[in-house]
């Protein structure tokens, strides 16, 4: 089981997106993602997302808002991934040359046209709502096979 975070940093009608093109053997190679990563032992989801956004972008987010929780059974072919999904609108700092890929501020309306995982287009719509969501996305051979959600 892998515990992870994912954060969408927003500013002025744009979302900071990461084009994953730099790491070797990256399961997300070539895809556009929000920022985030695996939790370290003893970390809370909030501590993890703050650390991961800083490491990947140089930005120091404040008061990240937990929008939902995602389950990806056997996502990497081995482990189930459980992901806490955040949004951050308060931050400071300057963007760095990310070790993970290329960072770009993308107009919110254009994010869904990027090369995303299929399920990302679905839960990114959920994030615009006011209700907390819990979703399950099942992939096989990098294709979305089924998904479901609950809203609270």
| C-alpha span between 92 and 25 (Å, rounded) | 31
Q: How many residues does the structure list for the chain?
A: 152
Using alpha carbons, select from 79, 82, 53 the residue that is nearest to residue 69: 82
Predicted pLDDT at 26: 85
User: What pTM, to 2 d.p., does this model score?
Assistant: 0.95
Share of the chain residues as helix, strand and coil, in percent rounded to the nearest 5: 20, 45, 35
- Tens of pLDDT, residues 72-104: 999 988 999 999 999 999 999 999 999 999 999
Which domains are assigned to the chain? 2-151 (3.90.79.10)
How far is Cα 13 from Cα 41, in angstroms, rounded to an integer?
Answer: 35
């Amino acid at each position: 089981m892998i515990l992870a975070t994912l954060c969408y940093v927003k500013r002025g009608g744009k979302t900071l997106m990461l084009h994953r093109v730099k790491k070797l053997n990256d399961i997300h190679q070539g895809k556009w993602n929000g920022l985030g990563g695996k939790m370290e032992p003893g970390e809370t989801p909030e501590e993890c997302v703050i650390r991961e956004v800083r490491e990947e972008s140089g930005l120091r987010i404040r008061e990240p808002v937990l929008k939902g929780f995602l389950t990806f059974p056997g996502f990497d072919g081995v482990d189930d991934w459980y992901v806490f999904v955040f949004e951050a609108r308060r931050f400071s700092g300057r963007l760095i040359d990310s070790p993970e890929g290329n960072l770009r501020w993308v107009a919110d309306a254009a994010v869904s046209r990027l090369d995303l995982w299929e399920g990302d287009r679905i839960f990114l719509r959920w994030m615009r709502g006011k209700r907390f969501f819990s979703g399950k996305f099942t992939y096989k051979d990098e294709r979305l096979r089924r998904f479901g959600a609950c809203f609270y």
